[in-house]
Amino acid sequence: MYEKIQETTAYLKSKINTLPEIGIILGSGLGNLGNQIDVDIAIPYGEIPNFPVSTVKGHTGKLIFGKLGGKNVVALQGRFHFYEGYNMQEVTFPVRIMQAFNVKLLILSNAAGGMNPDFKVGDIMLINDHINLFPENPLLGPNDDRLGDRFPDMSEVYSKELIIKAHKIAKDNGIKLHEGVYAGTTGPTFETPAEYKYFRNVGGDTVGMSTVPEAIVARHAGIPCFGT
């Protein structure tokens, strides 16, 4: 995989003028945030060597380089899911490319099902931890020490410092936020009532079909995460 990462990174570097500082993965319903980016170049996934292609409706399928809030960013307008038939290394390959670009922060977003009774449809939850209910871990197999340690510390996957900052910004702007635990499952089926009860009982506040594999690989790569 290391050679594929280098090949893909070299191709992308030949297309851009400025290296990104921040990586963003736009989940379902949030792809339009890409329209807020001052775009330098948007590259369809199908043109990028070794990149999967998103098959989910509403996921545009472009890798965007540009500026957002004065920062150089690289954004996935559409992510890859385990339920699409990709393996975990393919699902998380874009995070490895961000690692190769030495991004300093990865922002993960998703549309999730709320299980916490205090939540309402459309509420925003900051992810402070997750429960991995996928049948595979993206770090299974031989470890490549060039990419990260064999046994990464998962005690703080989602940056506490950034969560505190987000709460302050939200308060200053009158935005209501929740904070909680995201349970990641394979999909593509939605959960049964019994499964919702089970996920809630084991500590989940929301449940979805993404995010966890990407966060694990980001942690392995030493990239701080902010998830919502």
For CA atoms 72, 74, 77, 79, the dihedral sign is: negative
pLDDT for residue 56 is more than 70: no
Cβ distance 159 to 215 under 8 Å?
no
In the sheet that 62-68 helps form, which strands lie side by side, from edge to edge?
38-44, 62-68, 71-77, 22-26, 105-108, 225-227, 124-132, 177-184, 206-208, 113-114
Nearest to 154 by CA among 103, 227, 217: 217
Token output for 170: 């939200």
What confidence category does residue 27 fall into, taking pLDDT thresholds of 50, 70 and 90? confident
In the chain, alpha helices (H): 2-13, 88-91, 93-100, 160-172, 193-201, 212-221
- Residues 158-216: pLDDT tens digits? 999 999 999 999 999 999 999 999 999 999 999 999 999 999 999 999 999 999 999 99
Centre a 10 Å sphere on the Cβ of residue 62 and count the other Cβ atoms it contains: 21
- Residues 133-158: pLDDT tens digits? 999 999 999 999 999 999 999 999 99
Token output for 115: 């299980």
- Residues 61-91: pLDDT tens digits? 899 999 999 999 999 998 999 999 999 999 9
Q: Give strand pairing partners of 225.
A: 106, 158
Residue-wise burial string across 126-153, b where 16 or more C-beta atoms lie within 10 A, e elsewhere = bbbbbbbbbeeebbeeeeeeebbeeebe
CA 224 remoteness from chain centre: 11
Which domains occur in the chain, in start order? 2-223 (3.40.50.1580)
C-alpha span between 93 and 50 (Å, rounded)? 9
Q: Are strands 105-108 and 225-227 parallel, antiparallel or unpaired?
A: parallel
